[in-house]
């Protein structure tokens, strides 16, 4: 499920994601792992998750190594954006979308190596 927002993420965009997940999988138990952003833990989000019978779990603060989306973003920056300058925001979004569309084909092996359960420990 993808929720696109060209401005910024907030509690409303998280609620939109929860509603879409609930519509797609109304009879499945859903647990979401989230990264501890303040807007993800607000009353609006927590109450909607409870209403939709979804469990929200939060990663420890300052742990990007545990956040799989950070690994996906690393792949997009390396394989899709190439440290290039994009003349327009639409060009920038297009490069990201094109890279994401190839995650299960062209970039499958690279993505598989990034999305492992091998977490760095200290």
CATH number of the domain residue 26 falls in: 3.30.420.10
Question: pLDDT tier at 120 (50, 70, 90 boundaries)?
Answer: low
pLDDT of residue 20: 95
Q: Using one digit for the tens of pLDDT, what is the confidence trace for 33-91?
A: 998 889 999 999 999 999 999 999 999 988 877 888 888 888 999 988 988 999 999 99
> Does 107 fall in a domain?
yes
> Does 39 fall in a domain?
yes
Asked if pLDDT for residue 31 goes beyond 70, the answer is yes
| 92/107 same-domain check | yes
CB 11 within 8 A of CB 42: yes
Domain ranges, residue 28: 11-61
pLDDT of residue 14: 94
């Amino acid at each position: 499920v993808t929720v696109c927002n060209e401005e910024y993420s907030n509690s409303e965009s998280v609620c939109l994601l929860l509603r879409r997940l609930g519509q797609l999988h109304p009879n499945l138990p859903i647990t979401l792992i989230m990264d501890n952003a303040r807007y993800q833990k607000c009353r609006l989000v927590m109450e909607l998750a409870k209403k939709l019978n979804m469990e929200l779990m939060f990663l420890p603060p300052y742990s990007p190594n545990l956040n799989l989306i950070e690994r996906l973003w690393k792949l997009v920056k390396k394989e899709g954006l190439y440290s290039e300058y994009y003349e327009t925001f639409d060009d920038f979004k297009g490069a990201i979308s094109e890279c994401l569309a190839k995650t299960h084909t062209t970039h499958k092996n690279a993505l598989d190596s990034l999305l492992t359960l091998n977490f760095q420990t200290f």
